[in-house]
């Protein structure tokens, strides 16, 4: 299907009017930047000479960062602990310009923190068991369905998104349809229903469908099965270097080859795809137009180091075939980091050379 470049530019121009409610597992991501030049003599571990640290909203918070960086108006809904990390996370979300009225503070939960450089350190409790807190999240989401242009469910399997919330969303959608998009996780494969768009990656799609995706035939079989199993209007399977495949009811499959020129880091690219699809659909775009924009957005962020976002002007530039200005984090996300540091000086980071990127490395894909 041929998608008009002018039409895509019009949709990007409407992002600033889209109100997105992002519900899911909010986390605080901490990044330690430095150089590894030797192994410790005391133990077989790298010695990291730290050159900088920062904190950013992670998990569903990274989806919020992506929505705001692209110009959309986001509200966050989830749960944090009654702790210092939760306060810093809420502060960072507000610094992005996001609404935090839907962020529930629970005395029975611990804010999930992810710290990584050469290794990753996770500070988290088992999946949330705060029934009252999750009900408050559910009630806020149900009240907000009519006030927002799109609802985004960012499931990181930490307990905020569960069968009760998903069933309530499906029932609300059946009564009065609204746009909602979902990034799924294994724990809830059996509970997703009636979403406007489901966005699994290839591994998640294969597991959810029970089909080993090896070629186009198995891909098509998996996509069709997920459409029926999840009763979804569409399923978008991200396939890494092979691009994306969009399945729609009665429309078969459309394949979108990747547009990435250089791949430095795939961290958070799925969140960028989710946010871009949500904004495009909320702006009145078709599923095909949303996929094209998301594909281009992903092609930009994988060329950046770190959990990156992109701005609307960067997305416009890549649509015109120009190489956008590389920035590790969108401007508003940088503001959030500065808010957390309270004026502390930070070393600026652009795209690193190959050798330096190998030294100043962060490991692991999407923090989950």
pLDDT for 108 equals 87
Does residue 215 have an active-site annotation? no
pLDDT for 332 equals 41
Please give the Cα distance from 192 to 195 (Å, whole number). Answer: 7
What is the phi/psi pair of residue 248, to 5°? Answer: -130, 155
- The pTM score is 0.82
User: pLDDT tens track of the chain, all 368 residues?
Assistant: 678 889 999 999 999 999 999 999 999 998 888 888 889 888 888 888 888 888 899 999 999 999 999 999 999 999 999 999 999 999 999 999 999 999 999 998 899 998 876 566 667 666 555 688 889 999 999 998 989 999 999 999 999 999 999 999 999 999 999 999 999 999 999 999 999 999 999 999 999 999 999 999 999 999 999 999 999 999 999 998 888 999 999 888 999 998 866 554 456 689 999 999 999 999 999 999 999 999 999 988 887 766 678 999 999 999 987 544 333 333 344 444 444 444 333 333 333 333 333 333 232 334 55
CB 61 within 8 A of CB 27: yes
**Burial, 142: exposed, middle or buried (Cβ in 10 Å; 0-12, 13-18, 19+)?**
middle
Please give the Cα distance from 94 to 55 (Å, whole number). Answer: 14
CB 326 within 8 A of CB 351: yes
- How many whole angstroms from its chain centre is CA 2? 27
Which pair of tokens denotes residue 297? 């957005």
Please give the Cα distance from 200 to 180 (Å, whole number). Answer: 14
pLDDT for 329 equals 33
pLDDT for 238 equals 93
Catalytic residue chosen out of the listed positions 29, 149, 183, 271: 271
Nearest CA among 129, 142, 70 for reference residue 102: 142
pLDDT for 129 equals 58
Residue 265 DSSP code: -
| Secondary structure (3-state) at 32 | strand
CB 153 within 8 A of CB 169: yes
Give the end-to-end CA distance of the chain in Å, rounded to a whole number.
Answer: 35
pLDDT for 246 equals 97
Residue 248 DSSP code: E
- 63-107 pLDDT, tens digit per residue, is 999 999 999 999 999 999 999 999 999 999 999 999 999 999 999
Nearest CA among 35, 88, 117 for reference residue 341: 88
């Amino acid at each position: 299907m041929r998608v008009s470049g002018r039409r895509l530019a019009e949709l990007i121009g409407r992002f600033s009017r889209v109100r997105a409610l992002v519900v899911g597992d909010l986390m605080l991501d901490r990044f330690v930047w430095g150089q590894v030049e030797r192994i410790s003599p005391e133990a077989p571990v790298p010695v990291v000479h730290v050159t900088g640290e920062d904190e950013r909203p992670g998990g569903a918070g990274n989806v919020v960062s992506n929505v705001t960086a692209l110009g959309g108006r986001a509200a966050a809904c989830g749960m944090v602990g009654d702790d210092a990390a939760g306060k810093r996370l809420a502060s960072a979300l507000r610094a992005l310009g996001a609404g935090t009225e839907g962020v529930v503070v629970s005395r029975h939960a611990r804010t999930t923190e992810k710290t990584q450089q050469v290794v990753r350190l996770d500070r988290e409790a088992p999946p949330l068991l705060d029934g009252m807190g999750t009900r408050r999240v559910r009630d806020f989401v149900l009240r907000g369905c009519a006030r927002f242009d799109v609802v985004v469910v960012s499931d990181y399997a930490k307990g905020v998104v569960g069968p009760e919330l998903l069933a309530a969303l499906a029932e609300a959608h059946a009564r009065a349809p609204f746009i909602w998009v979902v990034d799924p996780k294994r724990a809830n494969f059996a509970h997703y229903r009636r979403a406007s768009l489901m966005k699994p990656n290839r591994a998640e799609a294969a597991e959810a469908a029970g089909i080993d995706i090896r070629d186009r035939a198995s891909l098509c079989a998996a996509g069709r099965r997920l459409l029926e199993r999840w009763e979804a209007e569409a399923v978008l399977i991200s396939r890494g270097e092979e691009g994306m495949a969009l399945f729609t009811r009665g429309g078969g499959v459309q394949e979108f080859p990747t547009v990435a020129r250089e791949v430095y880091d795939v961290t958070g690219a799925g969140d960028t795809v989710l946010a871009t699809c949500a904004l495009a659909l909320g702006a009145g775009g078709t599923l095909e137009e949303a996929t094209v924009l998301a594909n281009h957005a992903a092609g930009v962020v994988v060329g950046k180091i770190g959990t990156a976002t992109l701005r609307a002007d960067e997305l416009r530039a890549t649509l015109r075939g120009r190489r956008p200005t590389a920035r590790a984090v969108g401007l508003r996300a940088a503001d959030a980091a500065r808010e957390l540091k309270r004026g502390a000086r930070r070393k600026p980071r652009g795209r690193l050379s190959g050798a330096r990127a190998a030294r100043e490395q962060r490991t692991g894909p999407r923090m989950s």
